[in-house]
Amino acid sequence: MPSTFTPLGTELMVTGEKSGQWGTLTNTNWNLSEQIASGYKVQTLNAAGTGINTTTLPVVDGGTGATLATRIIILGAVSPQAITGNKTVTIPIDVENWYFIKNSTSGSFTVEFKYASGSGSSVTWATGSKDWKVIYAAGDDGTNPNIVEVPLGMTNIVDDTSPQLGGDLDTNGFDITSASDADVDIIPNGTGDVNLGADTIQVGDNNVNCTVTTQGTGDLILNTNNGTNAGNITLADGANGDITVTPNGTGDFVVAGTSTQAGKIVMSADTDDSGSFVASFQPGVLTESTAYTLPLAYAGTSGDVLASTDAGVLSWTTVSGGTSWQAVVTGTTQTAVAGNGYPINTTANVCTVTLPAGTVGDEVSLLDYARTFDTNTLTVASNGSEKIYASTDNLTVSVEGASFTLVYVDSTQGWLLKDN
């Protein structure tokens, strides 16, 4: 019986045949086996202009060198080979083998690897695909065998439950997203931090309110220069929007200080504004807001306070620590000064006290020193157009032992009795 051959060309000799040739033929078979296991071959495809787009990989029975009987195949050329049409590479229908094959062609055309006949599956390099593929020619059907691609590595990173990078991750212009409304968590190990090395960090979906919060009960802390607090934190709104600070429940808005420096709020003028600052207070119990205009400059004395007019204009005002009582007045006239008190002695004559120009909150105190107002009266006169109880008339006091304080309230009522 003569020798037979496997689909890849290995010679199967019959006992008693090939006398004196077994050594040579056996060595050829061994060389062929090594070639099938790890051989490398560059296979040029039918060139453009030949009219043939199919390249057949034949078997060489009992010999080495056939592309079909190698493990690693370069289709095209190392350089690579330029093709001008879709190409097909075929193998005999009975071949069963593993292949590592690279498409080394140039041009936007497909290359298909398939059996020479039958309707079994094949493997195709798409246009622009020039990569390696692991291919198994199954030889699983005598009529319609299949050729399948074995994926190189993982087809999806989900297959690796603890993947690690060996270098920087370049997203190549793509986003890091999640599926089914799931969160994207970045969780450093232990005391590690998440460092975002960008000049601008954008959060939130387009045109949707954004919330920055902590996961637990801890505070949200903003600081600068890696925690050294050397630098400013600026909150800027867009399109003339407000910046609102809303404490929870009964919480307060607190500007905290240090052991050596009190907390403070500093308001700066617009560089091209010659007017004043405006602070608006809107307590929940009021039905309308009240706007107070703050003075830009301060030219008073230490200890001054801000006083408001009925129009909401604030000014710096000196407030004394109570009434400053003066020496007993015995003359017929006295010009009063706001904040002062005057004992008036009318034993020898009547007396007229002229009130100062009024500023809201000003007070003047007067008392009957000798209990003689009933015999020699005290006259209290306004200053120019100032009023006393909404009148420009003088106030006459003729009650023995009278003692009272006048307070200036506004330009309508003028001076009113605070007590009597």
Higher pLDDT residue, 278 or 67?
67
Could you tell me how far CA 216 lies from the centroid of its own chain?
Answer: 19
Handedness of CA 50, 55, 61, 64 (dihedral sign): positive
pLDDT of residue 30: 93
Q: What is the pLDDT of residues 39-52, one digit of tens each?
A: 999 999 986 555 57
Cα separation, 255 vs 232, in Å, equals 15
Q: Which residues contact 32 (CB under 8 A, 6 or more apart)?
A: 8, 9, 10, 63, 64, 69
For the domain 324-419, what is the CATH code? 2.60.120.640
Quick one: which of 57, 36, 58, 59 has its CA closest to 45?
Answer: 57
93-107 pLDDT, tens digit each: 999 999 999 999 999
Residues facing 215 on adjacent strands: none
Q: What is the pLDDT of residue 238?
A: 73
- pLDDT tops 80 at residue 126: yes
Among the ranges given (41-45, 85-89, 209-213, 414-418), the one the predictor scored with the smallest mean pLDDT? 209-213
pLDDT at 376: 95
Check residue 312 and give its pLDDT.
62
* Burial class of residue 303 in the structure, from the number of CB atoms within 10 Å of its CB (0-12 exposed, 13-18 middle, 19+ buried): exposed
Whole-angstrom distance, CA of residue 211 vs CA of residue 67: 64
Decide if pLDDT at 228 tops 50. Answer: yes
For 386-410, write each residue's pLDDT tens digit.
899 999 899 999 999 999 999 999 9
Spatial CA neighbour of 58 closest among 71, 69, 47 = 69
| pLDDT tens digit sequence for 263-307 | 666 665 555 554 445 554 444 444 444 556 666 666 566 667 777
Please give the model's pTM, rounded to 2 decimal places. Answer: 0.42
* Helix or strand (DSSP H, E) at 215: none
> Which residue, among 396, 389, 392, 391, has the nearest Cα to 417 in the 3D structure?
389
| Range from 113-127, 241-255, 326-340, 351-365 carrying the lowest mean pLDDT | 241-255
| Mean pLDDT value across the chain | 84
CA 240/CA 182 separation, integer angstroms: 35
What are the boundaries of each domain within the chain? 38-150, 277-315, 324-419
